[in-house]
Amino acid sequence: KNEVEQSPQNLTAQEGEFITINCSYSVGISALHWLQQHPGGGIVSLFMLSSGKKKHGRLIATINIQEKHSSLHITASHPRDSAVYICAVGYNFGNEKLTFGTGTRLTIIP
Amino acid sequence: GAVVSQHPSWVICKSGTSVKIECRSLDFQATTMFWYRQFPKQSLMLMATSNEGSKATYEQGVEKDKFLINHASLTLSTLTVTSAHPEDSSFYICSASPPAGGGRAYNEQFFGPGTRLTVL
């Protein structure tokens, strides 16, 4: 069974700080997703990656397949980045079932 | 980007009644849709996988007779919570997965905004 662990569970930082959220998984995967969930509950897909690095605006996601580890970075953090960030992995090409981490609650203080 | 909608966004019902939640892919055809449930301060838990034109596949512990799923078309899947009870109160989220190709990869999923169900 694939386990997905995120750290930290909670993170509070000052506006402008560089943020890193980590995700580790236990077995080989086909793809890893980073999701953002705001207090209202809606989920936004930030990244899907299976190797290397992706960047979108102030967000950067990296994955190390050998180490079974991914990181989500936020540069120049802003209060609007406050949300729960969820790592999810798919481990079967063509079968898109995801296993979710428990999430990291990020709070950015102005 | 691809958009998935859910309706209603929230619903309050009496115990024993049935509630239907719709999930629509607005600008793409979804061969597969997934239904998740999320309890407060917990992560999403997959309930079932829905493929257009075939029966849904339910995860272990999810009662298929209680949570009826119908994937009637390539853009619509419905989840009906039958004889709802207070313990069914939760946040229900769907996601839709288009077929690979056209610039889209396998494993790509687009999530709906969720439906908050409260059973009194």
DSSP 8-state secondary structure symbol assigned to residue B99: P
| Interface-testing mutation among A32, A43, A87, A93, with chain B (most B C-beta atoms within 10 A) | A43
For residue A94, what pLDDT band results from cuts at 50, 70 and 90? low
Query: What percent of chain B has a predicted confidence (pLDDT) above 90?
Result: 64
Asked if B118 has any chain A CB less than 8 Å from its own CB, the reply is no
- Give pLDDT, residue A3: 85
For residues B71 and B52, the answer to whether their CB atoms sit within 8 Å is yes
pLDDT at A23 over 90: yes
Please give the structure tokens belonging to residue B7.
């309706």
Encode pLDDT of B29-82 as tens digits. 888 899 999 998 888 899 999 888 888 999 999 999 999 999 888 899 999 999
Which residues does residue B12 pair with via DSSP β-bridges, in sequence order?
A: B118
Could you please report the per-residue DSSP string of chain A?
Answer: ---EEEE-SEEEEETT--EEEEEEESS--SEEEEEEE-TT--EEEEEEESSEEEEETTEEEEEETTTTEEEEEESS--GGG-EEEEEEEE-STT---EEE---EEEEEE-
- Average pLDDT, integer, range A92-110: 85
The answer to whether residues A92 and A110 touch, using CB atoms and an 8 Å cutoff, is: no
Joined together, the tokens standing for residue A63 give 């994955």
B66 CA: distance to closest CA in chain A (Å):
21
Query: Smallest Cβ distance to B111: which of A43, A101, A103?
Result: A43
CB contact A33 to B (< 8 Å): yes
Residues β-bridged to residue A5? A24
CB A108 within 8 A of CB A77: yes
Q: Could you tell me if A35 lies within 8 Å of chain B, comparing CB atoms? A: yes
In A, which residues are within 8 Å of B116 by CB distance?
41
Chain A CA closest to residue B48: A97
Q: Residues A86-97: what's their mean pLDDT?
A: 77
- Residues in chain B with CB shorter than 8 Å from the CB of A101 are 43
As a whole number, mean pLDDT of residues B83-111 equals 83
Q: Virtual CA dihedral for B90, A87, A56, B28, nearest 10 degrees?
A: -50
Distance (Å) from the alpha carbon of A9 to chain B's nearest alpha carbon: 11
> DSSP secondary-structure letter at B87?
G
Cβ of B107 within 8 Å of Cβ of A97? The answer is no
